[in-house]
Amino acid sequence: LYLPRNQLQGRRFSLQGGQILRVSTALSCLLGLPLRVRRIRAGRSQPGLRPQHLSGLEMIRDLCEGKLQGGEIGSTEITFTPGKIKGGTHVADTKTAGSVCLLMQVAMPCVLFAASPSELHLKGGTNAEMAPQIDYTVMVFKPIVEKFNFTFNCDIRKRGYYPQGGGEVIVQMSPVKELSPINLTERGTVTKIYGRAFVAGALPIKLAKDMSSAAVRCIRKEIRDLYINIQPVREPDDQAVGTGSGIIIVAETSTGCLLAGSSLGKRGKNSDKVGIEAAEILLRNLKHGGAVDDSLQDQLIIFMALAKGVSRVKSGPITLHTQTAIHFAEQLTKAKFTVTKSEEEDPSKDAYIIECQGMGMINSNL
């Protein structure tokens, strides 16, 4: 399968390069379709594959005993020929602060349709910019994605931060026969707000306390009647590599929805500002009335496409990552997506329904 540039609606996709690779290689592997991707990250200051993209591609290649051409750093074109997906232990090491969560995104759909259980050793950044934090993956992504009727175990061995990475996460999962569709359309009312503000390495716990209290103050302005429990923590030295800080705040609703806001500290950034940033993202996610937050949207698309039956998800405004994921999922599978504006009683809400008739992927190994 060759994805020509012209049908990608011009520049819209050029900055989604890493994500295009993740979605298309995962689907290529699952469907047994040879894939060629050209002009990879063509618009970026450092074009072509970065270490985290390459380690993801190499892991998928090894998962299915496939062939990868153009697999080197800086390469702007790859050809991937998949084989049969096998279970077992697989290692992916970005050797940088490249995100382990993005490695997990590309591998997880594939190992669900393997012949036997898998154990993925993912090394890199656990709490990195431009990617979900591992805390988000465990606290929000995991319980929601498991509604597709599979489970996985995620053991955070070591945390790693920008710039050196060095984190390690072990993911264990068993294959399934097929995925069930999901229905996440009732947001419900917020019943709990909780989270963690963390520091690691050379940073004092006071920074975590400052992030936490600034976040609580910010949320209090909008939500007065709820106890907000954001634990300040210092990561144990033997469980963290390097120095880092950040915060994640999760809102749980009466219907079991989980929506979050998160932020990372960096040198010269005031810790109050980090806490407020996360709180504002959470409040924005609660405001649009969707049942999933803006970070989860695009991560669900590939599973909706593979599931058997109709999935429906109510979200806020559709992100560029979600549009990209839908486009490639439709190109590569027989899944059909529709996005419609949700008819709300409340005019201040800006919610959409993402509906998908899944392709009903069957695991022929089981």
Would you name the residues annotated as active-site residues? 321
350 vs 344: CA distance, rounded Å: 8
What is the SS3 assignment for 123? strand
Q: Is 331 annotated as a binding residue?
A: no
Determine how many CB atoms are found less than 10 A away from the CB of residue 231. Answer: 11
165 near 123, Cβ under 8 Å? yes
Question: Which regions of the chain does DSSP assign to beta strands (E)?
Answer: 35-37, 67-69, 78-81, 88-93, 118-124, 152-160, 167-173, 183-184, 190-200, 228-234, 240-241, 244-253, 258-264, 310-315, 336-341, 352-357
Per the listing, tokens 């540039």 go with: 5
17 vs 22: CA distance, rounded Å: 9
- Nearest alpha carbon to residue 103 among 216, 179, 25, 218: 25
152 vs 169: CA distance, rounded Å: 13
What DSSP state is assigned to residue 125?
Answer: B
224 near 259, Cβ under 8 Å? no
Of how many residues is the chain composed?
Answer: 366
Binding residues for ATP: 105
Known binding-site positions: 105
